[in-house]
Amino acid sequence: MKASNRFIAFDPIYAHPLPPGHRFPMLKYELIPEQLLYEGIITEEALVSPASCPTELVLKTHDADYVQKLLEQTLSAKEQRHIGFPQSEALTKREFIITQGTIDCARHALQHGVALNVAGGTHHAFADRGEGFCLLNDVAVAANVLLEEGTIKQAIVIDLDVHQGNGTAKLFEHNPKVFTFSMHGRHNYPFHKEQSDLDVPLEDGTTTDAYLELLAKHLPLLLEKAQPDFAFFISGVDILETDKFGKLKVSKAGCRERDRMVFSTLKKAGIPCAVSMGGGYSPDIRDIVEAHCNTFKEAFSIY
């Protein structure tokens, strides 16, 4: 991919301030673009700040009552606990900007093959509620917007975060135009799983070789079954053996090979791809940032 065509959705609002000791590694959103710039993978021109997603586009996916609660800061204490972040105007604004970032990435990918959002992959958000650090389901909103416009006809969601994309599965359970695929920890959050079009549950301690073998087996079959003209890829790095919550034994090199496998399979099939980063909770932030940056490197080398 030519450097001039590289597109990364990013805004400083992504790195939202949290209470001291909070377990979510917000710092990664600052460090990923900094590292890509430092290594010369991108120039400043590649970083594009999204606008706020218009409410009417969010309402194509999320219930009006829930969206109103987000906008008016009227989530209950219980609802906030399920999400995992204290509500604020800034947090809501952040979510709307991240969601627009994924829409922008999808539009760019249609023209140039691939585009990546530094955040997003908020796959635990349902129509009527948020949970698991997810308020709005950015991939679902983007898919619905592009499908309604007619710019795409059949989408696939390739969700390789270690946690099942339960919100995405539920949102599209009756929509044949979006095929949901989730490869995730069987015994990991969320403990009640929804039903994706294809779920591949992984046992605790799944090794790099076993992980890649499963993915290599399923990717071609997926494309054959779903016949997509567009892909959304959630590239969580919580599959790493260093992750606090992942329970898998996938190496950093294995995680990078996973990304290479996804991008090369999609590119060979002529399918454009919008990428959202998903989760990552390794204790050393450098492990998270390096693994995420590898996703960008593989995307730009293959497309």
Cα(16)–Cα(141) distance, integer angstroms: 21
Residue 264 Cα distances to 99, 221, 273, angstroms: 26, 15, 11
The answer to whether the beta carbons of residues 278 and 161 sit under 8 Å apart is yes
The answer to whether the beta carbons of residues 140 and 167 sit under 8 Å apart is yes
Q: State the pLDDT at residue 303.
A: 96
Mean pLDDT, residues 270-276 taken together: 98
Cα(50)–Cα(169) distance, integer angstroms: 26
Torsion of CA 255, 202, 62, 131, to 10 degrees: -90
Say if residue 123's pLDDT is above 90.
yes
Give the percent of the chain with pLDDT over 70: 100
Q: State the pLDDT at residue 198.
A: 97
43-96 pLDDT tens trace: 999 999 999 999 999 999 999 999 999 999 999 999 999 999 999 999 999 999
Partner residues linked to 159 by β-bridges: 182, 234
Q: State the pLDDT at residue 222.
A: 95
Say if residue 228's pLDDT is above 90.
yes
Q: State the pLDDT at residue 4.
A: 80
Q: Does the pTM exceed 0.85?
A: yes
Q: State the pLDDT at residue 170.
A: 98
Say if residue 2's pLDDT is above 90.
no
Helices and strands per DSSP (H, E), number in the chain: 10, 8
Mean pLDDT, residues 111-137 taken together: 98
